[in-house]
Amino acid sequence: MLFQKIENPFYRKKRSLQLNGKLIWLDEPVVMGILNLTPDSFYEGSRYSMEKEILLRSEEILVSGGLIIDIGAVSTRPGAAEVSEETEMARLLPAVKAIRNHFPEAILSVDTFRSGVVSNIYDEIGGFLVNDISGGTMDGAMFETVAKLGLPYILMHMQGTPQTMQIHPFYVDVVKDILFNLSEKINSLKLMGVNDIIVDPGFGFGKNQRHNYELLNCLDSFRLFELPLLVGVSRKAMIWRLLDSSPTESLNGTTVLNTLALMGGADILRVHDVREAVETIKLVAELKK
Tens-place pLDDT, residues 53-87: 999 999 999 999 999 999 999 987 776 678 899 99
Catalytic status, residue 270? yes
* pLDDT averaged over every residue in the chain: 91
Tens-place pLDDT, residues 191-239: 999 999 999 999 999 999 999 999 999 999 999 999 999 999 999 999 9
Reduced to 3 DSSP states, what percent helix, strand and coil does the chain have, rounded to the nearest 5? 40, 15, 40
SS3 44: helix
CB under 8 A, 24+ apart: contacts of 39-47: 40/75, 40/77, 40/80, 40/81, 41/75, 41/77, 42/75, 42/77, 42/235, 42/236, 42/237, 42/247, 43/234, 43/235, 43/247, 43/248, 43/272, 44/247, 44/248, 45/247, 45/248, 45/272, 46/272
Catalytic status, residue 47? no
- Residues 273-286: what's their mean pLDDT? 98
- Find the catalytic residue in 52, 210, 270, 289: 270
For each of the domains in the chain, give its residue range(s) and CATH number, in order of start: 28-288 (3.20.20.20)
- Find the catalytic residue in 236, 241, 275, 288: 236
Give dist(CA 55, CA 198) in Å, integer.
26
